Chains A and B, each alone.
Chain A
Amino acid sequence: MNEDLYWTFIDIANGLLSGVMLGGYYAIIAIGLALTFGVMRLVNLAHGDMLVLAAYLAVLVLQFVPISPFITLALVIPVMFGVGYALQRFLLNAISVQSMERKGMSAGFGLMSPILVTFGLSIVIAHALLGGFASDARIIRNALSYSAVRLTEDLNLSTLRLIFFVIAVAILVALHLFLRRTHAGRAIRASADDAEIAPLMGIATPKINALASGIAIAIAGVAGVMVGMSRTFQPFDGPVFLLVAFGVVIVGGLGSIVGSLVGGVLLGITQVLAGTYFGPSAQLVAGYILILFVLAVRPQGLFARRR
């Protein structure tokens, strides 16, 4: 085979492979946001900070018990679920779009209050972390960072990303089954479909919303631990992950769970290929343009159904 052609092939194959793997990681970051928006129609600006919070939680655990970072999830998941549940139950339910609409406010107006509150929350979390952990960059140490699965002489995959991808798919499948097969899941979907009618059908919307928020933040917790295992993080890194999550959710479709994976994969492939061909700084811009392009041609997202 012609050598140039070979390298082009390898580049594209590598780009697709690492893009898909990166996409799994992005999907986990985004699922929580998709769920929150889909069910509560709430834009949670503190989503990224929740990730960072979870990462610090894992760091804290590992300081006391030297276990595998994956085992910290046993603590991180329930704690973050509690945080999400309490946040929705005691704070956000009072100012949700639905409750605003009930007071006769327009949807745009109703979006505003949670935005301001979650923005405030985002700052408060970041500063609390700054106070507790200082501004040093942290990372969750693990043995897998540099190991790779070699497919051919020039094709390989990062083991860590492969594991993340598998976890992402597992979470998606579990979430999908939960929403389809369980009573609570169906209640969440009903609430998402029509927040007005759901209570009339005997669904305790405040509790259901809190449950959904708990699940969303628990998944954000998983994402936080993964983020911490693959890069360093600091108290003020929240908005970085928020923007990634937004991008994924836009490409995949606001409120669509499966769309998160597809959106993540598309974003991942775009970034990796752009990085390969135009230099590392093109990764970000290419990602933004992909998202804007999707917004321009199909704002509801590539894989969302029109409601």
Chain B
Amino acid sequence: MLGGFLDRWLTGWRAKALVGIGLVVLILLPPVLGANSYVTQLLLTLFVFAVFGHAWNLLAGYCGLLSFGNQVYVGIAGFTMGILVYYGGVHVWVALPIAGLVSAAFAYLLAIPVRASLIGPAVLKPVAIGVAVWIGYEILVFYDPWWDVFGDPYVRRVMILLIIFLGAMPLLTLEGAYFAVATWLIAAAVGTVFNEWKLVGAGGGMRIPSSVTLEEMYYVGLILLVFATWIIRALLNSRIGLALTAVRDDPEAAGTVGVDVAKVKLLAFVLSGGLTGLAASLYFIEAVSLTPPSAFTVFWSAYFVFVVVAGGMGSLSGPIVGALIFVVIDRLLSGWLDQPLLILGLASVAVILVLPRGVIGAVDVLRRSRDARSAWRDLFEATALADLIGRLGRRRRGRNGNTVVAAYLVPGTPLPLLRPEAPGWKALFEGCEAAARSLEKARPDVLLVYSTQWVAVLDQLWQTRPRVRGIHVDENWHAFGDLAYDFDIDAELAQACIDQSDDVGVRSKPVNYDRFPIDTGTIVAANLLNPESRWPLAVASNNLYHDGALTGRLAALAVQCAADQNKRVALIGVGGLSGAVHRREIDPAEDSFAGDADDHWNRRLLDALIAGDAAQLRALLPDYAENARGDMGMKHLEWLLGGMGAQWCGAYVHAYGPVWGSGAAVVELALDERLARRGRARGIPVEAKRRLTVSADAPDVPATASAGRAAPAPKPAAPAHTAVATAPRRASVAAAPAAAAGNGVLYRNFRTQAEIDAQYDVEASVENFGIYVEFFLSNSERVRRKLKPELDIAYGPTAAEHLDLYPARAPDAPLHLFIHGGYWHSLSSKEFSFVAEGLAEAGVAVAVLNYDLCPNVTMTEIVRQNRAAVKWLYGNARRLNCDPDRISVSGHSAGGHLTAMLMATDWAGAWGLPRDVVKSGCAISGLFDLAPFEHSWLQPKLKLDAGEIERNSPIRHIPAAAGPLIVTLGGGESAEFHRQSQDFLAAWTRAGLKGAYLDLPGLNHFTVLEGYMDRRSPLSSAILRQIEETRGG
């Protein structure tokens, strides 16, 4: 509302003087405020949104083109940056103008043809050229797939078709609401395709890593804003500008007096796209990561509208004023209330309603008030209001209430600091840098550091020497170099902690002498997070006799002392995750976890941190400390948890990986829901080159106890779906399991392998196994032809991790996952396509899973793949047109076992998914205790050992809570199969879980599956009823 007034007031010398003074102040501000001040941060945001506003204002304010789709440039520029920086290694400041140009080029594509209609002859030629280029490209890709940047034919064709269509569409001939909706749809369509595009991380998005400082970004932002303002001003003052205004005020009249309306609109449209792209690039350099849904969301347009309308549409200074209001509301008030968007929503209503007669009215009032005094008063009121809101926001963010402003878990090993270039450790080093940047934003007064490596025995020690410096040589890693350090100590706070520690029953002592051996962890943390020694540290020792709870109480005490001194603290817990290290020389590039299960346990811990559930984390910690040999019993984590208290609500994992075999992670603990949400969205970052625990090339990597007993690993099976025909009919255990139970009993009442095999060998249990295989194959082919599934959608990094999706016709369908059998060593998704028929007919989308097989991978890995598939389905259900909140599972034989494993999974804890992500399950002819197979003909393939059996037998992992389960099998199956199902169902219901037995008389192990082909069969009806009964609401 100020914009219109300012435009008139700011004329001649006053304008020049004010702009000059303002620029000088803005240029000098960062050095005065210090490189990384919060004000600099806010001003950067202001610059970016002012440029966004300028770009939108150019269309709406000057051309009368109301765009709801400028976010398309935000996304395109963002991903251009991502591709250039991430794949091309281009410096961000080089990539930024390129991204701007690409956005402008895209805008040009949308804007042409300026006059013709879609089916006019003028369009046919370029479309023909486009189609010819496309066909040429298809041929190129056909001969050399390297050229296919789109990753799959579907994305490639849709993307190119969309581009040709958008090129041919005469967007600028549309007016008013039509134009608005068209731009919105274009952004939505482009965003949908980007969501599928693997090069840009598909739905997961990508990162724009850079090492630029806030100061650099600030100046680039300032230059961008000056440039945008200047170019628009120059444009307005030119002949074209006069034409623009004429077009806005009366397009028809402007046309008749010789203004080329179409050309003028084209120019403004392309400029608007370019400016939006430039501002978006800068935005994403600061934000670092982006995803298609967030980059192409229509909320951007809401921001643009807000900035421009609040500031004053159609005026040059309007967007700048609007951006100021936006920053005040969105950034400053966001700390004041949890819901920044809610404030923006209310403000949008208020801008129009509460201000006298709305924006338009305010502009009117100002326009009429020639009287400078009344205008001054209006101006003053507005700024006073903004100022008041600003001050309120700052005070609430400040000292009352929350003393802890940030908390970080960082590794204490010096290796990432000393060898930041080593591929394995680079991510950790960069993670620390990212944490350091976020620390700057948190603006602490002091860092409260606890390092597991400063070991004390007699008392609790606190560093009180005001400044410590020197050169430290680590006793283990001296070969990698020395560690210089120089930092300040907050002795006042440390003394307070010493004085107060009697309260928690601890005797504390100060440490204050020169050359005191500062521990490596503290030095590493100080150097990585606080390289310029901007904040003093308060450092506490790790007394070996203190347990985790006491450590937490000490942290709470230190926080209380800081609160008493009116200081804002950042908590730093220095230490690793899993403790096992390699005992040999390793190449840093080949670093891996030393313990077999370390990665698994570390991930469970990180998932629990991300989930932010204190009770769940507490339950996990003892197990974790024991199984992963967590560094010092994870007392550094206890320090953080104790210090944060109830404020803790999640975590953002900056980096995670092995360092010389031990686990290390840079984790920012979330103190507000915003960061926690971001953390959940990010999950545990995976390096591109992460080695899988089990890889197909090296089947022997996870050395299992059975290795000595089992036969040499057979060669990995031929491509899985031919396995039926080629797999040897039967293998016998190479060496009898001599180490079995003492009384000669192998399993339950079975004494010989033959007895076990007789009960479990399903192929031998039917007269002509080949008939069933034939039946499965032919029906599968028929159903694939009928239902037209999307085949082999990857859900994980290895070749076998894919699934076939049989879509339902209507959107938002429930999603059913089917897991095939084959005793974990044979068959694939392709023999079981037929299971989709009945459910799909009933409107349920069916995913038929493929997974890697034994002995390529271990049983544990198969289970992990199955779980990863559920996670993937949950994350991708919406774009598959399914409902992520209605996922159910069924499986047959080995798949019944895996179904039960999925039902028993702790989704909330270990996987960061809703606890009840799997709403219900149906285990058909399932195997719930793996113990017998160690002694069966399957053992050479399965290579089971006690650990594998314990981990992966569902009967030993009955969960505390789970959805309903149907247990069923053919009436004609063997006694052992019946016994397994009955035992499991009994254990399941004994635990208070819902379970039911479905009787399917007269069927054998194979014919039991035929029910899947008819939705009215007892099997399909039972599954459908279950899906229906477990809907939410």
Interface positions of A (Cβ within 8 A of B): 4, 7, 10-11, 14-15, 18, 22, 37, 43, 59, 62, 91, 94-95, 100, 103, 105-109, 111-113, 115-117, 119-124, 127, 136-141, 145-146, 148, 154, 156, 158, 161, 228, 230-232, 239, 243, 246-247, 250, 254, 271-272, 275-285, 288-289, 291-293, 295-297, 299
Contact = CB atoms under 8 A, between A and B. Distances in A.
Contact of A113 (B158, B174, B345, B358): B358
A292 B182 contact: yes
B177 A37 contact: yes
A135 B962 CA distance: 21
B178 A299 contact: yes
Nearest to B299: A239
Contacts of A146: 842-844, 1024, 1027-1028
B191 to A, nearest CB: 10
B178 A295 contact: yes
Given A100-B360, A123-B345, A296 B117 contact: yes
Contacts of A15: 809
B189 A158 contact: no
A109 B881 contact: no
10 contacts: A117-B348, A122-B345, A123-B342, A137-B1032, A158-B843, A279-B154, A284-B192, A291-B185, A292-B185, A295-B185
Given A139-B1033, A292-B189, A117 B184 contact: no
Interface stretch (B305-313, B420-428, B748-756): B305-313
Contact of A112 (B66, B786, B807): B66
Interface in B332-360: 339, 341-342, 344-353, 358-360
B827 to A, nearest CB: 25
B181 A113 contact: no
B711 interface: no
B1032 A275 contact: no
Given A116-B305, A123-B345, A141 B1031 contact: yes
B189 A120 contact: no
A124 B166 CA distance: 34
Nearest to B193: A285
Interface residues of B, number: 87
Contacts of A279: 154, 790, 805, 807
A250 B953 CA distance: 56
Given A123-B348, A124-B342, A289-B162, 11 more contacts: A4-B785, A18-B810, A112-B309, A112-B313, A115-B66, A115-B305, A120-B350, A123-B302, A139-B1031, A271-B811, A296-B168
B358 A95 contact: yes
A288 B188 contact: yes
A278 B406 CA distance: 48
Q: Which among B118, B360, B879 has the greatest number of chain A C-beta atoms within 10 A?
A: B360
Contacts of B306: 116, 119
B180 A43 contact: yes
B841 interface: yes
B192 A116 contact: no
Chain A contact residues: helix, strand, loop or mixed:
helix
Contacts of B186: 288, 292
B298 interface: yes
A243 B166 CA distance: 19
B885 A247 contact: no
Given A138-B1032, A285-B189, A295-B181, A232 B885 contact: yes
Contact of B811 (A250, A277, A283): A283
Contacts of B169: 292-293, 295-296
A108 B885 contact: no
A106 B249 contact: yes
Contacts of B1033: 59, 62, 138-141, 228, 232
B1018 interface: no
B349 A156 contact: no
Contact of A288 (B60, B189, B339, B346): B189
A279 B175 CA distance: 34
A112 B844 CA distance: 42
Contacts of B845: 280
Nearest to A59: B1033
B1032 A246 contact: no
Nearest to B790: A279
Contacts of A106: 64, 248-249
Contact of B118 (A232, A275, A297): A297
Given A103-B360, A117-B353, A124 B345 contact: yes
A148 B843 contact: yes
Contacts of A18: 809-810
A289 B339 CA distance: 35
Nearest to B844: A146
Contacts of A127: 339, 341-342, 345
Contacts of B842: 146, 148
B136 interface: no
Contacts of A139: 885-886, 1031-1033
Interface in B226-274: 248-249
B478 interface: no
A141 B857 CA distance: 42
A112 B812 contact: no
Contacts, number: 230
Interface of B: 60, 64, 66, 117-119, 154, 158, 162, 165-166, 168-171, 173-178, 180-182, 184-186, 188-189, 192-193, 196, 248-249, 298, 302, 305-306, 309, 313, 339, 341-342, 344-353, 358-361, 364, 785-786, 788, 790, 805, 807, 809-812, 841-845, 879-886, 1024, 1027-1028, 1031-1033
Nearest to A243: B188
Contacts of B879: 281
Contacts of B173: 299
A113 B359 contact: yes
Contacts of B196: 281
A286 B653 CA distance: 38
A147 B603 CA distance: 43
A278 B154 contact: yes
Given A136-B1032, A254-B177, A292-B182, A116 B843 contact: no
Contacts of B188: 243, 284, 288
B353 A247 contact: no
A246 B805 CA distance: 29
Q: Which among A18, A121, A231, A293 has the greatest number of chain B C-beta atoms within 10 A?
A: A231
B305 A288 contact: no
Contacts of A161: 810
B349 A124 contact: yes
Contacts of A250: 178, 181
B846 to A, nearest CB: 12
Contacts of A281: 154, 192, 196, 879-881
Contacts of A145: 843, 1028, 1031
A72 B118 CA distance: 47
Given A18-B810, A288-B189, A107 B176 contact: yes
A207 B79 CA distance: 49
Nearest to A242: B298
A300 to B, nearest CB: 8
A145 B117 CA distance: 44
- Which 8 interchain pairs have the tightest Cβ spacing? A123-B345, A120-B348, A231-B812, A288-B189, A137-B885, A120-B349, A280-B807, A139-B1033
Contacts of A108: 60, 64, 66, 176, 248
Contacts of B309: 112-113, 116
B160 to A, nearest CB: 12
Contacts of A22: 810-811
B340 to A, nearest CB: 10
A20 to B, nearest CB: 12
A111 B185 contact: no
B696 to A, nearest CB: 28
A14 B342 CA distance: 44
B374 to A, nearest CB: 20
Contacts of B843: 145-146, 148, 158
A271 B165 CA distance: 18
Contacts of A295: 169, 174, 178, 181-182, 185
